[in-house]
Structure 1
Amino acid sequence: MKLTSMRPRKIEVEPGTIMNFWAPTRIPNKNKNAVVFLHDFVGDGMITWQFQVLALLRKYAIYVPDLLFFGGSATGDSRQTVDFHAECVAKGLVALGLQRCTMVGFSYGGMVAFKLAKLRPELVESVVATCSIPALTESISKECLQRLGFPRWSELLLPNSVDGVKKLFEMKKLFSLEMKSSLLPLW
């Protein structure tokens, strides 16, 4: 990615909270629309979005944040909510000089994109989301966990057995294939 005129930038969005953003190395042409890609829970930004970034880099100003606890982004803050992630992403994008953008989110990244659009409508022009919902309610959460065969999200997202890791990566592979085949034709 460094060869594509993007580089990682660590931004302290608030005391004790650092986010890594892949961003253009120079200020983008004002005629280029900005696109922000938000990843899911299984990979970091560039692992999830590298093919889309490469395909769209010439036409758009691309930004790829690593959500907290991925790709060098971390916090000591106890707020682990979609609202907190959305605010951190917004603060980082503003620090990078972004004024308006299209958010593209996959799975959890889609939820963050929807929340960010609600919290900061002056920043978010539009949202494109795949494999996502606007908000995770308790009933949706329970139904999803039942279908996946897990009693709690922590057992799915932080497996403590080899079988759990295998199942997590099988789901990641299925979601990634679905995302790549459904999103690229839109551009």
Structure 2
Amino acid sequence: MARCCSFTATRDQCLRFSFSRSGLKSTVTDLGGGTVMHCWVPRRPKPARPDLVLLHGIGANAMWQWNDFVSPLAARFNVYVPDLLFFGDSYTTRPERSEEFQAQCVVALMEAIGVKRMNVVGMSYGGFVAYSVAVQFGERVDKLVLICAGVCLEDKDMEEGMFRVRSVDEAVSVLLPQQPEKVRDLVRISFHRPPKRMPNCFLQDFIDVMCTEYLQERIELIVALHKDRKLSNLPKLAKVHASHLSRCP
């Protein structure tokens, strides 16, 4: 629950204004079967422009992840920025937690909005979902960009020291922080030049606003992503142009 005076909630409102100023509007689509997805869509899509879908990571919702990029991208693309399930106003009552199900919901959302073919960009967890979109619906994807998305990871990679965390439980504690020190850990891992001073009051406010809703469901997303994951089982892409692929574990 946000406090009466909340820096994070105020920032959230500023991001909403920024998205609106970039020519986007907030929409909520009922996909049926207990699944609802929120998405920022062009207020006036232009048929001559390509459609671009931006998928966020675990540590942020759509606005917090993509705000710095929406305005310049909206000048050249019809930009669609959905909240993945259990972020923002997107949720499902169904039990599925895999990136494959997230991908199916993204495509169902685009279908409901009227987007037939798309370019897809995924950041971190969103990269796993984007890859799955391309695997399952390659005929609908023109180009795919993965940013900091270790889709080639295996469940043993953490134990072997490839990451800064050594277990899924430790990853959960950092990606879904519940204490100010864990937010500091997340910032140190995520930022090339992390802020030197991060007062506890601001960090706790961020936790209260951003990291408490759908906590159990988000934990299940992370667990499902890593469980029994092997490179040999990674589906191959077929009909997608990967003109630029940025990947880090």
User: Normalization by structure 1: what TM-score?
Assistant: 0.84
Alpha-carbon separation, structure 1, partners of 2:141 and 2:102? 15
Q: Which runs of 5+ in 1 are unaligned?
A: 177-182
One-letter identity of the residue aligned with 1:80:
R
Q: Which runs of 5+ in 2 are unaligned?
A: 1-18, 195-244
Does 88-97 or 3-12 show the bigger shift? Answer: 3-12
Q: Out of 118, 132, 154, which is 2:149 matched to?
A: 132
CA RMSD for the aligned pairs? 2.5
Written as runs of structure 1 = structure 2, the 5 A alignment for 1:164-183 is 164-174=182-192
Alpha-carbon separation, structure 1, partners of 2:157 and 2:143? 24
Instruction: Give 1:66 deviation, angstroms.
Output: 0.6
Contact 1:86–1:116 (CA<8 Å) still a contact in 2?
yes
Written as runs of structure 1 = structure 2, the 5 A alignment for 1:61-100 is 61-100=78-117
One-letter identity of the residue aligned with 1:11:
T
Alpha-carbon separation, structure 1, partners of 2:184 and 2:82? 26
Q: 1:22: which partner in 2? A: 40
Q: In structure 2, do the counterparts of structure 1 residues 121 and 30 end up closer, same or farther at CA, with 3 Å as the change threshold?
A: same
- Normalized per residue, the structure richer in strand is 1
Contact 2:157–2:163 (CA<8 Å) still a contact in 1?
no
Q: Which protein shows a greater Rg?
A: 2
Instruction: Give 1:166 deviation, angstroms.
Output: 2.1
User: Normalization by structure 2: what TM-score?
Assistant: 0.64
Deviation sequence 1:88-119 (CA, Å, 0-9, x none): 11100111100111101111111100000011
Deviation sequence 1:59-104 (CA, Å, 0-9, x none): 1100001111111111122111101110111100111100111101
One-letter identity of the residue aligned with 2:92:
T
Q: 1:148: which partner in 2? A: 165
One-letter identity of the residue aligned with 1:162:
P
Q: 1:47: which partner in 2? A: 64
Instruction: Give 1:147 deviation, angstroms.
Output: 2.5
